Each structure stands twice: as structure tokens, then as C-alpha cells.
Amino acid sequence: METEINQPVGQLIVKNLRAKPIELDRDLANLLGIGRKLNLITFVKRLTYPTTYFIHCDLIDTERNLFNGKRSDVLALFDVKGKPFEKVNYQGSPQQVLRDCSTDNFINSITISVKDENGELFDFKGFPLLFELELN
């Protein structure tokens, strides 16, 4: 196989030089936004990647916090901006609502996770992840 990137016809061009059947697994085909069976020349128009980060927190009161009409531990969500794996700073806006959290007298741990729109943990591929928490 041979590949070219950032061409006018797509982000990625995959050439099957030996014309042997090549079939990708489902996850890779979904990532590339193409069918599982490669053509002699396959054009990847744009790579698919998450469009939103969902920040989950185990201290959120799921009895009082709804997301899309369902009980949820979503603390915040941010539309992905910038290029994949580019460092981006997200500023919280004054319009973001405060979430009701657990009010036990003693909290000795907190779990925060970042998931994509499918509910899968987001893999930052070893790049650093920074959370800034404001506790009132």
C-alpha cells in the first residue's frame, strides 16, 4: 500500500498497489469514514473524530441533574475546537450552570473522566490533560 496526505481530493489517499483485497476492521473504517473494503484508490475526505468532550464527575447529584432529559453525571461539555491533539484552552462561560454535587461532610476523592459523544473514554494518546476545578 501507498498513502498520500493532505491532497486536494481528501485528507488521505490510500493506494492498493498489488490489487489484493484489503478489508479494514469496523473501528478503523469508522475512524476514516470509509467502507471496510478498500478500492484500488480510496479517498478519505476527512478523518472523523469526536466533536464534543463530555466531562463526567462522580460527585454530581444525578437525581437533580438532567442531560437530554435523562439523569446524568455530566459536569460540563465542550465542543471540540482546533486540530486533533492540538493544545486548546477552554474558558468556562458565565452562562454555564452550576451543578448540584454531593454534600457529604467528608469527601476524600473525586473522579473526573472525559468521554466522547458515544460514551467511550476519550484517549488523549499520551498528551497531557489539565482540569481546573473551582470549589465553592
- φ, ψ of residue 70 to 5 degrees: the values are -120, 150
C-alpha 34/C-alpha 76 separation (Å) is 31
- Higher-pLDDT residue of 1 and 10 is 1
Winning range, highest mean pLDDT, from 33-37, 110-114, 123-127, 129-133:
33-37
pLDDT at 62 > cutoff 60: yes
- pLDDT digits 0-9 by tens, 36-58: 898 998 888 766 666 777 888 88
pLDDT at 87 > cutoff 60: yes
Dihedral angle sign, alpha carbons of residues 79, 82, 84, 87: negative
Q: What's the one-letter identity of residue 44?
A: V
Q: What integer pLDDT is reported at residue 47 of this predicted model?
A: 66
